[in-house]
Chains A and B, each alone.
Chain A
Amino acid sequence: MGVTLAVGTEKGAYLLRSDEARRNWGLEGPLFKGWRVTTFGEAGDGTHLLATASNWFGSALHRSSDLKEWTQIVDGPAWPEGGDRKLTQIWTLTRAGDILFAGVDEAGLFRSDDHGQTWQPVDGLNEHPTRAAWQPGLGGLAAHRVVVDWADPNRIWVAISAVGVFRTDDGGATWVTKNAGVQRTVDEEELDDIGYCVHCIVQDPADANRLYRQEHRGVFRTDDGGDGWVRIEDGLAAAFGFPITVDRETGRLFVVPLESDENRLPVDGAFRVYRSDDRGDSWSVSGTGHPDAATFTAVLRGAMDTDQRKGIYLGTTAGKVITTADAGEAWTTLPWTLPRILSVRVMQA
């Protein structure tokens, strides 16, 4: 079975479809030409979702049954009218059974129980007692990752940039910060366990209590559902980075290290994906096929995904899509150069 990748960029969305071997690809698009496309999702009723944003026209959610014809969802995620919060971007769409979650900027979590047709704010998180102290980072104030426990859908983790990770054990009614062991980026004593600049989190497909966390301050793992985090950086060229993902078939982890939060570039221009076969205890450069020439580009937090059968796909800020079909033994850079890539998603199409 081939793979359909949805690629969201600063200027539209693109579809990349592969052959069965995932070696030959075709390009379709752009869709939503001129719009920023921030993320994609599956609605759970066979339709697909896509989120747009614009500096002028705001953010909206769209639905398609064929990834070609799209209709805007009128009652998408939205902060209440008359309030101070502005929804500027939808950064993640996560499905758990028939429930959908949308993580947005200005930070908040919304839930849909009707396949994305209508959305309700998750007040337990959005009005968390720490809310007044949430402050934006360079990338905004965004709830950008939602992880629903594959073993218990009532347990959910949400990552909010420059704030930290929160967990609910009761389906979203109450939330607790889960950042112990991580170094803050906003180091003010009066903050109550917030001020952590989490970039990405992912759950281990083999152990529901194990999660991995690419943080502004480094790479971390928890083995107890987030109660405590430990550094896992041995062998990495740098600890800073944005995405982290894990392939279910092999259990192999992937990150793309960048030199420091100041520079945010591959170390010495050596663009390399790193992998770990021991749950992050050690890392090494992932296989072959990386650029030989200096390559000063990055991969953003939403721009790496896996098909869970050794296919890893990432998009760079320079508009290149890089793939592997063998869990990172050999990487291929596809020929097209797209606008700055914000998101890469393996679609069920």
Chain B
Amino acid sequence: MATVQVRLPGLLAQIMGGTKEVIVEADTLQGAVGQLLADFPALKVHLYDESGRMRPHINLFYNDTNIRWLSSPDVPVLDGDRLTVMQAVSGG
């Protein structure tokens, strides 16, 4: 399995005890996200709403690619890949 580094924004890091980076092991991107939520189940409500979709102002980047742009999350991951939770802050 590959080792994937997950980065979290400051607000979520607070509820993770101040941890901004965690490591998950998985074979695929989908597996990495699943492992992240299995290891840290408190994150789920913050990333996904009741419809099961990712919250509108949350972006999850796989390396430099927004996973919304992928046709499927079932892609293999490699050691050193990054998964970044980004908060899309807008407004003046």
A296 is an interface residue with CB less than 8 A from chain B: no
On whether A35 and B46 interact (CB within 8 A), knowing A56-B89, A74-B41, the answer reads no
Residue contacts A-B, CB under 8 angstroms, 15 given: A32-B14, A34-B14, A54-B46, A56-B57, A56-B89, A57-B12, A57-B46, A58-B45, A58-B49, A59-B45, A60-B15, A72-B42, A78-B50, A81-B52, A86-B49
Q: Quick check: A82 and B51 within 8 Å, CB to CB?
A: yes
Q: Which residues from chain A sit less than 8 Å from chain B, CB to CB?
A: 32-35, 54-60, 62, 70, 72, 74, 76, 78-87
Q: Quick check: B49 and A33 within 8 Å, CB to CB?
A: no
What residues of chain A lie closer than 8 Å to B42, measured between beta carbons?
Answer: 60, 72, 74
10 additional A-B residue pairs with CB within 8 Å, beyond A57-B11, A59-B45, A78-B45: A34-B14, A57-B12, A57-B55, A62-B15, A70-B15, A79-B50, A81-B50, A82-B50, A86-B49, A87-B50
Task: Name which residue of chain B comes closest to A83, CB basis.
Answer: B50
User: Separation in Å of the A54 CB from the closest CB of chain B?
Assistant: 7
**Mask: chain B, 48-88; 1 = CB below 8 Å from A; 0 = not:** 01111001011000000000000000000000000000011
What residues of chain A lie closer than 8 Å to B44, measured between beta carbons?
Answer: 74
CA distance A87 to B50 in the complex (A): 8
Q: Quick check: A60 and B50 within 8 Å, CB to CB?
A: no
On whether A58 and B55 interact (CB within 8 A), knowing A34-B10, A35-B14, the answer reads yes
User: Separation in Å of the B37 CB from the closest CB of chain A?
Assistant: 10
What residues of chain A lie closer than 8 Å to B88, measured between beta carbons?
Answer: 56
User: Separation in Å of the A122 CB from the closest CB of chain B?
Assistant: 17
What residues of chain B lie closer than 8 Å to A81, measured between beta carbons?
Answer: 50-52
Q: Quick check: A57 and B50 within 8 Å, CB to CB?
A: no
On whether A85 and B50 interact (CB within 8 A), knowing A56-B89, A60-B45, A72-B15, the answer reads yes
What residues of chain B lie closer than 8 Å to A86, measured between beta carbons?
Answer: 49-50
CA distance A32 to B10 in the complex (A): 11
CA distance A74 to B42 in the complex (A): 5
CA distance A35 to B15 in the complex (A): 10
Number of inter-chain CB pairs below 8 Å = 58
CA distance A84 to B52 in the complex (A): 11
CA distance A54 to B45 in the complex (A): 11
Q: Quick check: A76 and B89 within 8 Å, CB to CB?
A: no
Q: Quick check: B52 and A82 within 8 Å, CB to CB?
A: yes
User: Separation in Å of the A40 CB from the closest CB of chain B?
Assistant: 17
What residues of chain A lie closer than 8 Å to B46, measured between beta carbons?
Answer: 54, 57-58, 60
What residues of chain B lie closer than 8 Å to A35, measured between beta carbons?
Answer: 11, 14
User: Separation in Å of the B9 CB from the closest CB of chain A?
Assistant: 9
CA distance A81 to B53 in the complex (A): 10
Q: Quick check: B15 and A54 within 8 Å, CB to CB?
A: no
On whether A56 and B50 interact (CB within 8 A), knowing A34-B10, A74-B42, A76-B45, the answer reads no
CA distance A86 to B50 in the complex (A): 6
What residues of chain A lie closer than 8 Å to B55, measured between beta carbons?
Answer: 56-58
What residues of chain B lie closer than 8 Å to A74, measured between beta carbons?
Answer: 41-42, 44
User: Separation in Å of the B34 CB from the closest CB of chain A?
Assistant: 16
CA distance A62 to B17 in the complex (A): 12
CA distance A33 to B9 in the complex (A): 13
**Mask: chain B, 2-26; 1 = CB below 8 Å from A; 0 = not:** 0000000011101100000000000
CA distance A87 to B51 in the complex (A): 11
Task: Name which residue of chain B comes closest to A59, CB basis.
Answer: B45
Q: Quick check: A33 and B45 within 8 Å, CB to CB?
A: no
Task: Name which residue of chain B comes closest to A12, CB basis.
Answer: B14
What residues of chain B lie closer than 8 Å to A79, measured between beta carbons?
Answer: 50
What residues of chain B lie closer than 8 Å to A80, measured between beta carbons?
Answer: 50
What residues of chain A lie closer than 8 Å to B87, measured between beta carbons?
Answer: 56-57
4 smallest CB-CB distances across A and B, nearest first, come from A57-B46, A72-B42, A56-B57, A74-B41
CA distance A57 to B8 in the complex (A): 12
CA distance A34 to B9 in the complex (A): 12
User: Separation in Å of the B15 CB from the closest CB of chain A?
Assistant: 5
CA distance A80 to B49 in the complex (A): 10
* Most chain A C-beta atoms within 10 Å of own C-beta, residue among B11, B45, B47, B49: B45
